[in-house]
A and B are shown apart, each in its own frame.
Chain A
């Protein structure tokens, strides 16, 4: 089952003008990821924030490339949840 990954709601900046950029994916397409693992680094003007994986599974698609600015309301990647 595909799981759309977003920036956690509580991690979104309040200010609309804050630019958010993907600075580094810590996994590649096809990699197996465990829930809670460091998934991606995002940057604002303020700092680098590390977003952790919300589920375990395989990273199948990345919507935002490294270096790209994005709206925190958009999904950033798909993790295919492993079936037991």
Chain B
């Protein structure tokens, strides 16, 4: 049969991720399956999983696996979200304990169908972890809650260590890349509001590159995030999850990622973590400790 090498040709050398057949990753994988809990690490087939899990860091997906928004880059299922899992808190606590996690990232599908966007549910989980494991660090990577101050307050009252909300892309591409309910300015406003509501919390954001943005636009985005008090920004290569999502416009070279890191170091007060393999939660524990 005459098969054509379709995919390999499309990728530069640096989009090549090694999946070691290690006992540790296997063990954690079955543990999570048994508890019945979803991690973005697994569902996104994240290449950094072995590294993150061995560093006792994991990202849990809360509020179900169906998102009420239809961002064109994202492979999470879209549609009518399901009822909240009342056992989710217990499952997370169990996973934190059994995996010995020291840095826990709680992310979510957007739930515009819920009056508070799911804020109370997340807040309860953060509080429970804090109560049981007071020394562990928690990052929430959440939606914009449509800018609702009350929902943001609900999240902040649980005192997560880091509040993260991704811009995902530069301003010009936002209408193409994200759902129409999302907006670049609203996301900046959310980050600004959070910082005003809680001066001690660290705020964080992330963007993907390779979607057709220019270098100038990326730098402007960093300036915008710096202006709203962001402490850290991740920049990673956009990778098309399946053929149903937006195609990659360009593979950004490792040199360009290094340039963004250095440029931010020279010109801004925020820290940039950039690289082809970088995802929102990559090395999250590192910078939170100030390393």
- Residues of A at the B interface (CB closer than 8 Å) are 8-11, 13-15, 17-19, 21, 23-24, 36, 38, 41, 43-54, 65-69
Contacts and interface: CB of A to CB of B under 8 A. Distances in A.
Given A43-B7, A45-B241, A46-B241, A54 B47 contact: no
B29 A9 contact: yes
Interface in B235-255: 239-244
Nearest to A21: B7
Interface of B: 1, 3-8, 11, 15-21, 25-26, 28-30, 42-43, 45, 47, 49, 75, 239-244
B242 A17 contact: yes
B58 to A, nearest CB: 13
Given A10-B19, A10-B26, A66-B5, 17 more contacts: A8-B19, A10-B25, A10-B42, A15-B43, A36-B20, A36-B21, A43-B8, A45-B243, A46-B240, A48-B8, A48-B11, A49-B47, A51-B19, A51-B21, A67-B3, A67-B4, A69-B3
A68 B18 CA distance: 20
Given A11-B19, A51-B19, A67-B3, A24 B243 contact: no
- Decide if the interface of chain A is mainly helix, strand, loop or mixed: loop
B20 A44 contact: no
Contact of A24 (B8, B30, B75): B8
Nearest to A13: B45
Given A10-B42, A23-B8, A24-B8, A17 B244 contact: yes
Given A14-B43, A47-B47, A66-B5, A52 B241 contact: no
A9 B28 CA distance: 11
11 contacts: A10-B49, A11-B45, A15-B43, A15-B75, A21-B7, A45-B240, A47-B15, A47-B17, A49-B17, A50-B18, A67-B5
